[in-house]
Chain A
Amino acid sequence: MTGLGVRGFPGEWPQGQWMPPDVGPSGFICLNPWSASALSEWEKAEHQAREIGQLENDWDGYGGAGISSMVLSNTIHALEMLASCGVPIPTPDLSPTSAGTILLSWEHNGAEGCLEIGNTRYTGYLKIDALPPALFEGNADRIDTRVFWSIAWAILSPKLAPTVISEFGIRSKPADARLAA
């Protein structure tokens, strides 16, 4: 498992870390090319994010905070990473929150993934049926690529859930610190 490159992940995959399944002999995930319709869906998601990014203070009538340019930029970056991570994950449902953050959420086959993206931090979780949830957090402008992998594979293949959960159910230190270790 060591010394392999994974598309969407900078450098070599960290030794001893969970590896996405179905890695080809070259070390890169083997995928079908993106279809035009999939690209269009991601373009729509980005367009929706930009619409949400225009919300100003009190957008919900209950004092909701407006969406800052930084939150929008971090969200667009996350969408770009998701679209190019090499796994055909469906586009997320995007929602503004009253805090002025943006929620990315998926729900499929008993799995639920959620990322809340703010100015400087992101948090999230992955929940599959009755298994203990995996919790994520880190810097919003550098979301750990493995978070995307985890959500993607859990949404697409819930049978892989135990692997995903066991590897990412750790939040004793932020993801970036784990990567650096």
Chain B
Amino acid sequence: MRDWPREIADAETIVRGICSPYHVSKSGTLKPTAFDPAPNTDEVSVLRHDWIGTEECRRRSRALENAEQKKVYRGMAALSARQIRDSGAEVVDSREEFEGHTDIKHGFVVRPGEPLPPAALLAMRERNRALARIAMYYPDPDPAGAVWTGPPLRPRDDKHGSPG
């Protein structure tokens, strides 16, 4: 497992764990802010699905949940590395965090408490909207269940708008 290459192939499936209420709209679609970078970084934490598999991706995503903060695990979003790169972002391996961890790198560093400069805000919003639009969102059919019971996690097929 540890020999998995650092280089991320375009065809690899990349997964982002999704929690509500603020990453999913009332209509059940992903919000662009679901792809905001963490403060003081330009990095969005994601997972290398092809390396660690659906169950480990789900375990990591469920660990985001926090009942005290009303933060509820809802499911996972899948993209291909190529789709991320096509949006203008980079995707880089960061296994130092844990096995399978990787980062989407926006190139815009977010500072706590203050907005991005307007041109950067526009650029990042447009990119995040593109990522939210192209990402294939899989609501977990049984969030409390022991295992994933939904369909296989695959990126959206660019041509047909459904999992490829």
A133–B110 touching, CB < 8 Å: no
The answer to the question of B112 belonging to the interface, with a C-beta cut-off of 8 Å to chain A, is: yes
Asked if B54 CB lies within 8 Å of chain A CBs, one says no
CB <8 Å contact, A97 and B38 = no
A64 interface residue, CB < 8 Å from B?
A: yes
Cα A154 to Cα B122 in complex, Å, equals 17
Q: Which one of B17, B64, B110, B115 has the highest number of Cβ atoms from chain A below 10 Å of its Cβ? A: B115
Stretch at the interface among B65-73, B77-85, B134-142, B145-153: B65-73
**B118 & A135 in contact (Cβ 8 Å cutoff):** yes
Whether the pair B118, A171 counts as a contact (CB closer than 8 A) is: yes
Q: Chain B: how many interface residues by the 8 Å CB criterion?
A: 31
* A99/B39 in contact, CB under 8 A: yes
Partner of B69 from the list A58, A99, A124 (CB cut-off 8 Å) is A58
B66 touches A123 (CB 8 A): no
What are 10 of the A-B contact pairs (CB < 8 Å)? A61-B65, A61-B66, A65-B112, A71-B113, A95-B33, A100-B112, A119-B113, A124-B121, A125-B122, A135-B118
Interface secondary structure of B, over-half rule = loop
**In the assembly, what is the distance between CA of A120 and CA of B110, in Å?**
15
Residues of A contacting B45 with CB < 8 Å?
62
How many Å from the CB of B123 to the closest CB on chain A?
Answer: 10
A124 surroundings in chain B (CB, below 8 A): 118, 121
B23 CB within 8 Å of chain A = yes
- Determine if A167 is an interface residue (Cβ-Cβ < 8 Å): no
* Given the contacts A98-B39, A100-B39, A136-B118, A65 and B113 also touching, CB distance less than 8 Å: yes
Q: Is the CB of A98 within 8 A of B38?
A: yes
A120-B114 in contact (CB<8A)? yes
User: B117: CB under 8 A from chain A?
Assistant: yes
With A58-B69, A59-B22 known to touch, is A123 a contact of B113 (CB < 8 Å)? Answer: no
Among the stretches A12-20, A31-39, A110-118, the one at the interface with B is: A110-118
**Is there a chain B Cβ closer than 8 Å to A101's Cβ?**
yes
Q: Does A46 contact B (CB under 8 A)?
A: no
Q: Are A118 and B36 in contact (CB under 8 A)?
A: no
Mark out the residues of chain A between 123 and 164 whose CB falls within 8 Å of any chain B CB in the assembled complex.
Answer: 123-125, 127, 133, 135-137
Q: Which among A100, A122, A133 is the interface contact of B113 at CB below 8 angstroms?
A: A100
Most interface-central of B111, B116, B118 (chain A CB within 10 A): B118
A96, B116: Cα distance in complex, Å: 14
Within 8 A of A (CB), among B78-128: 110-119, 121-122, 125
A95 touches B22 (CB 8 A): yes
CB pair B33 A121 closer than 8 Å: no
Docked complex Cα distance between A62 and B66 (Å)? 12
Given A95-B31, A99-B110, A101-B114, are A55 and B69 neighbors across the interface (CB < 8 Å)?
yes
Which one of B111, B117, B119, B121 has the greatest number of beta carbons of chain A within 10 Å? B121
CB-CB < 8 A to B121: which residues of A? 114, 116, 123-125
